[in-house]
Each structure stands twice: as structure tokens, then as C-alpha cells.
Amino acid sequence: MKNDLKEILRQRKKRYRDTNKDKIKLAARKYYLANRDKILKKYNQMDKQKIKEYRKNNQDKINLQRREHYDINKERLREEGRNYYHKNRDKIIRRITLLNEVNPEKKKQYYNDNKEKINKTKRDYYQKNKEKITKLRKVYNKVNEERIKKYRIQYQKENKEKIIQTRKKYYEKNKEKMLAKGEKYRKDNKDVIKQKHKKYYEDNKEVLKQKLKQYYKDNPKYARNYYDANKDKIKSKIKEYMKKRYNEDNNFRISMLLRTRIGIALKRYTKTGKVMSSKKYQINFERIINHLKPFPKNMKLYHIDHIRPLCSFNFVKEDGSTNLEEVKKAFAPENHQWLLAKDNQSKGRKWITQSVLNKYH
């Protein structure tokens, strides 16, 4: 009889709890908030070993209860957590830093013991909230751009070897995947990469030149061997580049024509036939090009003419050496003009105007 009565009462209680679940929870919460200190005091006086054992034996049950509680009160708990964090941010960071300093090995040990579990949890969470995380990261990176940049530079300086080793290890492990990814990116972003390289080169021109010069100095055999192994390929690339630039860049085209003309003149009208750098003769191509502006619309119909013919200059001194002053005069900007190709060919060794003739006498 007693047992039956107990069962009836138990069933009644269960029905009441199921029917008034929210009401009971609210009452329990109110009671807890009103008597928090008293409850915590009682909890601290309890046998800790018994609590640990209970938790260990009922871990799944506790986790399930916590999960249910979190799902029901998700928004409220999140809001409370955010408010608490913002209110006590410095305190939390200090505590975490202190714990890491006091027990650095403990953290490492925990990570090593639960590596797979931690990584799986992180991966699952990332996959579930990918868009949200990406959006938040973008906002955070934009707001903290300078701070992140400084931190990265500092970290890279302090952990240079570690970073190199980590990258090496990762590359060896994911070689094929990375090569395929890099190939795809280069194929899809040719113009972007080209612009980046161009900008970087322009910003660091002198540094890169010095580095390259130093590298060739330190590794003369490598440079020679590379050239010998790729001779035809290098020549073909240079030829293609020169041809393209010659057709597209008028300044480059004119400077090339002038250089060729200097070479021909010095070989023809000097005894040695040796050609030195244009700087030695004090020839300024930039000034010549500026003097020849504006360029004719159809440059193919025109020649760059020397007003006073090159054959009229005395490029050789009495001792047989090259007369640098005469070369400078011959290739002075004022001695250049545009002339129709047919007129230039029929002109021969004549001077065009008496006024120009007077300049050189």
C-alpha cells in the first residue's frame, strides 16, 4: 500500500513538473539569485571528492542538461557573456596571461592530449558559421589594421626560424595541393599578379637592384650556368620584350635609334671604333627626346635627322684619341630634327639652314 502511494505521488510530481516546467525554472532562478551567497557557501562546504565523482559518473547527463539549458536561453546567455566580457575585459586578459605564465606546460599538455578533439571542434564550428566568421574577420581586420600589421612584423622578427620550419613542414605535407592551388590562382589572376609585381618593383627598385647585384657577385657560377642552360629562352624573351616596347613606347624607340646612330657614327668616323657609355660623351637622351616633341603622327614616314651632318665633325684628335667635345656637339639636342624619310635620303651631306650653320661656327 505504501509503495503504491509513493508511486502515485511520484507520478503526480512528474506531471506537475512537465506541465509547469518554465514556471519551476523561473522560480528556481529567482530563488538562486536571492540566495546566491548562501548556496555558494553551502556548496564550498560540500565534499569536493564526491562532487568530482558525481560529475565523472554523470558526464553525459550533465552535458545534455547544459546543452538543453543553452539552447533554451541562447540569446540571453550570449548577451550576458558579451556584457560581462566588455565590462571585465582587462581582468579576464590579465587572468588568462597569468595562468599561461604560471602553467605554460599545463596548457600545452592539455592541447597535446586533446589535439584531435580540439581541431575537430574548431573545424565543425568554422564550417557551421563560415559566412559569419568571414564577415566578422573582415570587420575586425579593417578596424585593427595598424595593430595587426605591427604585431605580425614583431612576431615574424621574433619567430623567424619557427615560421620557416612550420611552412616547410606544411609544404612537404601538402605539396601537390599547394602547387595545384598556386597554379590555378596564377592562371585566374594574371593581371592582378602583374600589377602587384610592377608596384613592388617600382617601390623597391634600388633595393632589388642591389640585392641582385650582390647575389650575382656571391654566386657567379649559378648565374653563368643558368644562362648557358637557358640561352635561347632568355634571348627569345629579351627580343620579344624589346620588340614590344619598341612598337609601343615612342621614347624608348627614339633612344634606341639614337644609340644605334651613335654606335655607327663612332665606328665609322673614329680610329679606334670603340663605343663608350653615353654618359662619357655627355649625351642626354632625355633632353634630345624632349627637344623632338611633339612627335609626328605617323613616325614611320620620318627620320631623326642631324641638322649638321655627322661627317662634318672632327671626332679624332691629333693624337688619334676620340674628341669627346665634338661628339657632344654632334649629339646635342639642338642638332636633331624630324625630317621626312625621302627628304633625309636626298639631303646627303648638306646642312639644312644657314642659321643652324652659324651656331657651330
Question: What is the distance in angstroms between the CA of the first residue and the CA of the last residue of the chain?
Answer: 142
Looking at residue 298, its pLDDT comes to 85
pLDDT band per the 50, 70, 90 thresholds, residue 360: very low
Write the pLDDT tens digit of every residue in 118-133. Answer: 999 999 989 989 999 9
pLDDT-based confidence at residue 2 (cuts at 50, 70, 90): low
Most confident range, picked from 234-248, 269-283, 333-347:
234-248
pLDDT at position 278: 76
Quick one: which of 243, 246, 275 has its CA closest to 259? 275
With vertex at residue 311, the alpha carbon angle to CA 305 and CA 315, rounded to the nearest 5 degrees, is: 115
User: Using the 8-state DSSP alphabet, how is residue 299 labeled?
Assistant: G
Q: Which tens digit of pLDDT belongs to each residue from 80-115?
A: 888 998 888 888 888 888 777 777 787 788 888 888
d(CA 10, CA 14): 6
SS3 assignment for 142-178: HHCHHHHHHHHHHHHHHCHHHHHHHHHHHHHHCHHHH
Q: What is the pLDDT of residue 285?
A: 84
- Name the average pLDDT for the chain: 84
What is the percent of the chain where pLDDT is above 70? 94
Mean pLDDT throughout 258-287? Answer: 79
Stretch among 104-113, 191-200, 262-271 having the lowest mean pLDDT: 262-271
Strand partners, 336: 306
Domain regions of the chain by residue span: 208-248, 250-359
The answer, yes or no, to whether residue 353 has pLDDT greater than 60, is no
Q: What is the pLDDT of residue 273?
A: 64
Band (pLDDT 50/70/90 cuts) for residue 159 is very high
For residue 265, the model assigns a pLDDT of 79
Q: What average pLDDT does the segment 292-309 reach? A: 86
Predicted TM-score (pTM) of the model is 0.41
Q: What is the pLDDT of residues 34-82, one digit of tens each?
A: 888 887 777 776 667 777 888 888 888 888 888 888 888 888 888 888 8
DSSP 8-state code for residue 309 = -
Least confident among 160-174, 215-229, 283-297: 215-229
Main-chain phi, psi angles of 204, to 5 degrees: -125, 30
- The helix (run of H) or strand (run of E) holding residue 288 is helix 285-292
